Chain A
Amino acid sequence: MAEHILSAQDLDLSEGQMPREDWFESSVTLQNLRKNKRFPTIWCSGCGIGVVMGSLIRAIESLGLDNDQVALVAGIGCTARMPVYMDYNTLHTTHGRALAFATGLKIARPEMKVIAIMGDGDALAIGGNHFIHAARRNIGITALVVNNSIYGMTGGQYSPTTPLDMRATTAPYGNVEPPFPICDLAAAAGATYVARSTVYHALELDKYLAQAISNEGFSLVEAVSYCHTTFGRINKLGTAADMMRGLKDNSISKSAYDRLSDDERGSSTKIVRGVLHTKSRPEYTKVYQTLVDRIHEEAIQTRNYGGN
């Protein structure tokens, strides 16, 4: 995938300077980044969020979608800065509320592919209520949660997915709160497509994101990432490369996991990657549109509308 990678030299743009035109022509990823948005990104060098951005673009592209028919809705945080760089309809909202904004947009524009992009704190702490209710409705939104187990933008406070005993700037003696299993939560709340992979397994992420966007109802993709500048530093987990390698070593595909014995599964602490849950259930905006069409038609027939 070499053509997707910018060299460090390429990224060293002074303010207002446009990247060379041929860069954009050289790859699917670059073609779908905004040409009038100044780069580099706000992310730290080595951050996994950029990998997810590339994956998302490739997934959308693989489905042959028209960029005008794709909306990216984000909350607040490092991950939520992703849409500004991307050449789609992009809505950068308030902390935790991406799915609530996305719900209104999806109702107004049911034909659009609406993707809500959130971090773990954004989606599951401040936005936890919207997360479970969007899943319950099975509204046709793809929730992409980049899980780096920490509040990165504010400097490394513990989040709802920080593992037990790990340190954060607000858990200086170790975290005493058990983390949310994001995928289990989404499945229990009613999501109809749930998958997880990591930023090490970028091509797997491409595939899951494409499947999630294709699913008519509410989809969740958990992209497990890392934050080497806050979580990694305070927990002495090494460099970005070390943490990336950690995702490779400490994850297991669902098919391999399913082949383990019960005892092995019970003692495994590995991240399970794969499509973890699917269900067939009617999608919210379709169900409601059917109702609206019926009531609208009846009202026209009986002239019973407009308060008259």
Chain B
Amino acid sequence: MTIRLMQGNEAIAMGALAAGCRFYAGYPITPSTEVAEVMSRELPKVGGKFIQMEDEIASMAAIIGGSVGGLKSMTATSGPGFSLMQENIGYAAMAEIPCVIVNVQRLGPSTGQPTAASQGDVMQARWGTHGDHQIIVLSPISVAQSFELAVKAFNLSEKYRTPVILLTDEIIGHMREPIELPDFDSVEKVERLVTDSPSTYRAFCNDSGDVPPMASFGTGYRYHITGLFHNELGFPTQHLHKIDAWLERVNNKFNNNAEDILLYQKDYQPEARMAILSYGASARTARHAMKELRAKGEKVNLFTAQTLWPFPEAAVEELAASVERIIVPEMNLGQFALEVERVAGRKKVVRVNRANGEMVTPDMILSAVEA
């Protein structure tokens, strides 16, 4: 255990290394580049590999290739690069290839403000690729949590054979905080399910569960991987019952494991009639506002989501049932609030938005409380 002062972006790289990441492919982009710089320096030290690809499309493709080859793989980017990665993120979802995509959000749309923070990609992280699919999206609120969620992102990715998006932002990414780095050997690592019977191997079927074992190329399992809808062996299919079976199994991975996937923190007070619900950098503002409100004698619940997708529906429903209004501060024009509104029923959802690159301030939340 060592105590270090580091940036959120560095902590993500450290978390990835601790989780067993051994391949990184990326393309420079502000404000995520520190992740690539640390990985290029640290990966060779542990026998891992780094490559700077020609663009973000290639970076996403390369980490899928690396994962198929058996290496835990990651890329990091920001808004414009994240947009370019979307097609191949969908490929990873369709082919069930574990990999981690870090998006250090910056102000958009387009080139926007590369050095300004934003939470504008919440919906892109969920729906950015074409076609319907589920995906896991995690969002840290501190440097320490950047490390923890990077580890968690790899573990969920390998456990459920799915791409996982680590959705951080310029503030958390560039902020420096002290962090207690654990000995990497002591960090819990999840390895992908494997099999030892090449002759009966079915890469997209598991009779005993929803997650099929994943064999690496070059290890004696010759099988087919495709972005087309496919049968249990990976061969393209147009048969509706095969497509339906795929949809059911893959959606079950998320629907049946909500307890494992959904991470959030609840700081509730008995008889509170209002709540602040947030995530990422805005959750820090939310906590500050909560303290001021409580100091004034107001009862307020604080809900901080680390898993943004799948949306923590049951927990937010429960919160909505106990309070009259939920205040949702976020650095966009209102994205996560849309989901809160969806499950809040007739309870009031108050949006507090700032989409100009600056943080939501505690005063903005306090004004919303008084309004």
Residue numbers of A with Cβ under 8 A of B are 34, 36-38, 67-69, 71, 73, 83-84, 87-94, 97, 100-109, 111-112, 129-130, 133, 288, 291-292, 295-296, 298-299, 304-308
B17 within 8 A of partner (CB): yes
CB-nearest residue of chain B relative to A137?
A: B51
How many angstroms between the C-alpha atoms of A80 and B74 in the bound complex?
26
Residues of B within 8 A of A288 (CB): 49, 51
- For the complex of A and B, list the 4 residue pairs with the smallest distance between their C-beta atoms, beginning with the closest: A108-B69, A104-B65, A104-B62, A100-B61
How many angstroms between the C-alpha atoms of A87 and B181 in the bound complex?
46
Contact at B71–A108, with CB atoms within 8 Å?
yes
How many angstroms between the C-alpha atoms of A40 and B63 in the bound complex?
33
Residue numbers of B with Cβ under 8 A of A are 2, 4, 14, 17-18, 23, 25, 42-49, 51, 53-55, 57-59, 61-71, 73, 87-88, 91, 181, 183-185, 216-228, 233, 235-236
Contact at B62–A100, with CB atoms within 8 Å?
yes
With contacts A104-B63, A308-B183 known, is A292 near B47, CB below 8 A? yes
CB distance from B47 to the nearest CB of A (A): 5
How many angstroms between the C-alpha atoms of A101 and B53 in the bound complex?
11
Contact at B42–A305, with CB atoms within 8 Å?
yes
Contact at B44–A84, with CB atoms within 8 Å?
no
Contact at A101–B219, with CB atoms within 8 Å?
no
Main secondary structure of the interface of B (DSSP, over half): mixed
Residues of A within 8 A of B68 (CB): 91, 101, 104-105, 108
Residues of A within 8 A of B228 (CB): 92
Contact at B44–A105, with CB atoms within 8 Å?
no
Residues of B within 8 A of A90 (CB): 222-225
| Residue from the list A71, A84, A88, A103 in contact with B236, Cβ < 8 A | A84
How many angstroms between the C-alpha atoms of A106 and B98 in the bound complex?
17
CB distance from A120 to the nearest CB of B (A): 19
Residues of B within 8 A of A71 (CB): 217-218
CB distance from B22 to the nearest CB of A (A): 8
Residues of A within 8 A of B218 (CB): 68-69, 71, 89, 109, 111-112
With contacts A91-B68, A108-B69 known, is A296 near B235, CB below 8 A? no
Residues of A within 8 A of B57 (CB): 97, 100
How many angstroms between the C-alpha atoms of A198 and B57 in the bound complex?
32
How many angstroms between the C-alpha atoms of A94 and B59 in the bound complex?
13
Known A-B contacts: A91-B224, A107-B51. Give 19 more (CB < 8 A): A36-B235, A90-B225, A91-B65, A91-B217, A92-B227, A97-B58, A104-B51, A104-B69, A104-B73, A108-B216, A109-B218, A129-B58, A288-B49, A296-B45, A304-B45, A305-B46, A306-B45, A306-B46, A307-B17
Contact at A94–B17, with CB atoms within 8 Å?
no
| Residue from the list A68, A89, A94, A296 in contact with B91, Cβ < 8 A | A94
Contact at B49–A108, with CB atoms within 8 Å?
yes
Residues of B within 8 A of A87 (CB): 222
Contact at B44–A36, with CB atoms within 8 Å?
no
Residues of A within 8 A of B46 (CB): 296, 299, 305-306
Contact at B53–A100, with CB atoms within 8 Å?
yes
| Residue from the list A89, A101, A296 in contact with B44, Cβ < 8 A | A296
- Can you give 25 A-B contacts (C-beta < 8 A)? A38-B235, A68-B222, A89-B222, A90-B222, A91-B225, A94-B61, A100-B57, A100-B65, A101-B62, A102-B65, A104-B25, A104-B61, A107-B62, A108-B66, A108-B71, A109-B216, A129-B55, A133-B54, A133-B58, A296-B47, A298-B45, A299-B44, A306-B18, A307-B42, A308-B181
How many angstroms between the C-alpha atoms of A277 and B67 in the bound complex?
33
| Residue from the list B23, B183, B222, B226 in contact with A88, Cβ < 8 A | B222
How many angstroms between the C-alpha atoms of A109 and B220 in the bound complex?
13
Which of B63, B68, B233 lies at the interface centre, i.e. has the most chain A CB atoms within 10 A of its CB? B68
Contact at A94–B87, with CB atoms within 8 Å?
yes
CB-nearest residue of chain B relative to A97?
A: B61
Residues of A within 8 A of B61 (CB): 93-94, 97, 100-101, 103-104, 130
How many angstroms between the C-alpha atoms of A67 and B17 in the bound complex?
33
Contact at B70–A109, with CB atoms within 8 Å?
yes
How many angstroms between the C-alpha atoms of A129 and B57 in the bound complex?
10
